[in-house]
Amino acid sequence: MQSNPAECLYCTNNETLHSLMIPIAELRVSRVFLFKEQTYRGRCLVAYNGHVNDLNELSDEQRNLFMADVVQVTRAMQRAFRPEKINYGAYSDKLSHLHFHLAPKYVNGPDYGDTFKMNPGKLYLTDAEYQILINMVKANL
């Protein structure tokens, strides 16, 4: 499935995007967001700046830069939140724009030892609480 960039929430930076996540930073070739649904404390998303469907569509150089951005964010999350593990999800079944979900997993936490849920809809925070998490990630980028 190839989507139209004019209809892509990442490309248009539309209201749907902002209802789901909060911008944190721009990196080499991507943007970093905090996922508003925080069942997995500190969950972030890294979206490639250009409209490509899959990692294999990038040149080696662009792929390496994108993956360096993903690693930079996971290292920041690791320092900020100290999860046991960070799960990576890059499905794009219904939205063909290259992006990685980064879901921290904690021992005895939700879905530990299993696949994280895309949007469990269980835990939303106040603006002040979101800002604390954003500041923690930014301080470690």
Question: Going from the N-terminus, what domains does the chain have, and what CATH number goes with each?
Answer: 5-140 (3.30.428.10)
Percent of the chain residues past pLDDT 90, beyond the cut: 87
User: What average pLDDT does this structure show over 26-35?
Assistant: 98
The two tokens of residue 47 are 């979206």
Q: Which residue has the higher pLDDT, 71 or 8?
A: 71
The alpha carbon of 69 is separated from its chain's Cα centroid by a whole number of angstroms, namely 11
Between CA 45 and CA 32 the distance in angstroms is: 6
pTM of the predicted protein model: 0.94
Spatial CA neighbour of 67 closest among 29, 115, 93, 26: 29
Tracing tokens 């939140």 back to the chain, one arrives at 81
pLDDT at 13: 93
3-state SS class at 47: strand
**pLDDT value for 1:** 58
| Distance separating the N- and C-terminal Cα atoms of the chain | 33
Characterize the bridge pairing of strands 99-105 and 85-89. Answer: antiparallel
The conformation of residue 23, written as its DSSP 8-state character, comes to E
Contact (Cβ atoms closer than 8 angstroms) between residue 68 and residue 58: no
12 pLDDT exceeds 90?
Answer: yes
Radius of gyration of the chain (CA): 14
Report yes or no: 74 and 102 within 8 Å, Cβ to Cβ: yes
Rounded Cα gap, residues 2 and 127, in angstroms: 34
The mean pLDDT value of the chain amounts to 95
